[in-house]
Amino acid sequence: MKYPIIFAALLSFTSLSSWAVDPFTVELYQTSCKICHEEGVGGAPRSFDDSAWAERLSKGKDTLLAHAIGGFKGMPPLGMCSDCTKEDLVDLIDYMSAEDAQ
């Protein structure tokens, strides 16, 4: 009986926000998104910066996905990832907008 209690206690110390990032998503970020999002080039929201993403996330992920697919302001359609699927783009948005993902 003590093992379930220990397990539950250990789970309580883990952060829900410390999710595992798919290495493929990290690779896509490195090759397609980092060049603009790392420094906020052309008004791009900086990666892993809650304040840079808060207003954008408040508009909903569907809006962010539509902007990623169709382009938005200085960002070309699909950014620099012409082979990305919708799922890839959603994963990239989740990755870049998570403060503790790096």
Tokens of 81: 């990832």
- Annotated domain spans of the chain: 19-97
pTM of the model: 0.79
pLDDT in 10s for each residue of the chain, 102 residues: 555 544 444 444 444 445 688 999 999 999 999 999 999 999 999 999 999 999 999 999 999 999 999 999 999 999 999 999 999 999 999 999 998 776
Six token digits for residue 72: 């938005």
Dihedral, CA atoms, 4, 14, 88, 67, nearest 10 degrees? 130
| Rounded-to-integer distance, Cα 71 and Cα 80, Å | 10
Note whether 37 and 46 are within 8 A (CB).
yes
pLDDT score for 81: 96
- Distance of alpha carbon 51 from alpha carbon 39, whole angstroms: 14
Distance CA 90, CA 4 (A): 35
* CA-wise closest residue to 65 among 7, 57, 73, 31: 57
Rounded to 10 degrees, the C-alpha dihedral 62/80/82/17 comes to -40
CATH T-level topology, domain 19-97: Cytochrome Bc1 Complex; Chain D, domain 2 (1.10.760)
